[in-house]
Amino acid sequence: MLSKATHLGIVILMILALFSCRSRKDFIERQASKSYKAEYIPKKHEMRAAWLPTIFRSEYAQMTPEQMKADFVRKLDQLQSIGFNTIIFQIRPESDAWYQSDLEPWSRFLTGVQGRAPQPEWDPMAFLIEECHKRCMEFHAWINPYRAATGANNQLSYLHPYHRHPTWFLKYNNQLLYNPGLEECREYICLVVGDIVRRYDIDAIHMDDYFYPYPVAGVPFPDAETFRRHPRGFSDINEWRRDNVNKLIEEIKATIDAHKPHVRFGISPFGIYRNQKNWSKGSRTNGLQNYDELFADVLLWDKMGWVDYIMPQLYWEMGHKAADYTELAYWWQKHLTKAHYYIGQSVERTMKVNELHPKLVIAHDTSHGVAMWPADEIFKDFKGIVRQLRDVYWSHPALTPSYEGISLGAHRPEPVQSVWIEKEEDGRYLKWRTPLYEGGAETKYYVVYAYDRSRRDTNGASPEDIVAITQHPFYKLPVLNGKTKVSYFVTQVNRYNAESPMSKRVKAVI
């Protein structure tokens, strides 16, 4: 029998647990209530990303290369004008390619038939990378690692890996999937990643929430035989499945770092890690779980430093009964310790209930920025989101956050030297000498700041003081009234997004 002291201890623990849950609930409710009235103050360093999916987008196959290039330019121009600084573009939706590849066939979503090259032949990813970098925007190459075909009976190109290695694949819920339990599949996926990183000037490899497939009730995933043949010391198939994914994440990170350490690795998992009823530290939610159903141990990836950013898909509304946005936003903030934390937002679900303001306020308080799903709804200007972002919340530009302390070799660059003003035939220019760096430390772009010297409420390094983000070592001075006294200075940002200290100030009257 338990002693009186033991009984008392148990009662005390139960009271403390109840109080903790109550205080947590009160905190979330207070934060949600405050967010509607709180002022949104934009950060200077903030992720503002948009997902551009290609899967099941039929419009591209109807375009000529020139029409598609014009469409991409139009979309990038619009996103840049709104304030976005990062594009997440889906380049490998089903073991195919939106780029020149010797490993996988051209995507059917690009040309209409898998394996058919665009005519005349061109490289959409290379084009998009160049156009993004012209605009000082980042390009994140979005791949789906395990999905080989959205339909198990799809007509696959003879170049598809399935025809070379049919034993690598499993069928589940009418999908064709790489077998996560096979070492050969991990090696091949890493080969694809290495090929992309080595040949293209991307800023990041991005993966979404598709690891083990979303489960179908009563239909087990068909990997029992693989587990029997390759248990690797595991007796629990679920632990083995998590380890399969863990190995892939670790090896992809090692592959990227071996080629270009400045290229980041980001993952956008499903929004719930674990529910509190399954794990005492879990979120107060009641939904599908990364850890238990998708076998994605996101917190371990963060702890081990295998990812540079985590972008949970928090698509639900505030106060949602099964998955409250506010609860999850603060839960991820508390539990991610190394990687940058960005919040994936659903444009449609957010705008339908008029929650853009409170969600951006909460994201500002908890994370390093947001990503909008999908960009299609931005292009449609769903419920006026364009004006709200452009004119209200993102009226000043933001730099993508620095990866100092996260990525290998990420250090703050030296200040820009020798800044001066030079008069030319078409006006006056602010100019500076370009430093010579390499290996990821090279200059990605320059940031030009200007502030009216009559102001006393700024140090000249605020978002509202940014007048240009440019790859050029010069900036043409505007002509105002010939009486405004302005101070200019320049910083440089390297491939790790680390910003240098300010250059010397240069005074001008414009």
Q: Return the H-helix or E-strand segment holding 1.
A: none
pLDDT band with cut points at 50, 70 and 90 for residue 18: very low
Task: Tell me the sheet residues that pair with 89.
Answer: 52, 141
pLDDT in tens, 97-116: 999 999 999 999 999 999 99
Task: Tell me the sheet residues that pair with 45.
Answer: 399
pLDDT band with cut points at 50, 70 and 90 for residue 351: very high
The three-state secondary structure class of 248 is helix
User: What's the confidence (pLDDT) of residue 219?
Assistant: 98
Percent of the chain with pLDDT over 70: 94
User: What's the confidence (pLDDT) of residue 48?
Assistant: 98
CA dist 208 to 90, 168, 190, 502, Å? 10, 22, 16, 37
Q: Which of 426, 444, 456 is nearest to 491 (CA)?
A: 444
| DSSP letters spanning 187-226 | HHHHHHHHHHHHHS--SEEEE-S-SSPPPBTTB--S-HHH
Question: 153 CB contacts (<8 Å, ≥6 apart)?
Answer: 174
* Residue that wins the pLDDT comparison between 44 and 436: 44
Kindly tell me the burial class for residue 428, based on how many C-beta atoms sit within 10 Å of its own C-beta (0-12, 13-18, 19 or more): middle
**Which range (66-75, 249-258, 455-464, 491-500) has the least confidence?**
455-464
Task: Tell me the sheet residues that pair with 217.
Answer: none
pLDDT in tens, 271-321: 999 999 999 999 999 999 999 999 999 999 999 999 999 999 999 999 999
Kindly tell me the burial class for residue 408, based on how many C-beta atoms sit within 10 Å of its own C-beta (0-12, 13-18, 19 or more): exposed
Mean pLDDT (the chain, rounded): 94
Domains and CATH numbers, the chain: 47-393 (3.20.20.80), 417-509 (2.60.40.10)
pLDDT band with cut points at 50, 70 and 90 for residue 405: confident
Please, what is the angle between helix 325-335 and helix 356-366, to 10°? Answer: 10
Average pLDDT over residues 2-11: 56
User: Are 345 and 355 contacting, i.e. CB atoms less than 8 angstroms apart?
Assistant: no
- pLDDT at residue 2 greater than cutoff 60: no
Task: Tell me the sheet residues that pair with 268.
Answer: none
pLDDT band with cut points at 50, 70 and 90 for residue 461: confident
User: What's the confidence (pLDDT) of residue 435?
Assistant: 76
| DSSP letters spanning 261-319 | TTSEEEE--BS-S-BTTTSTTSBS--S--IIIII---HHHHHHHT--SEE--B--SPTT
Structure tokens given for 477: 């001075």
Distance CA 119, CA 116 (A): 9
User: What's the confidence (pLDDT) of residue 67?
Assistant: 98
pLDDT in tens, 160-203: 999 999 999 999 999 999 999 999 999 999 999 999 999 999 99
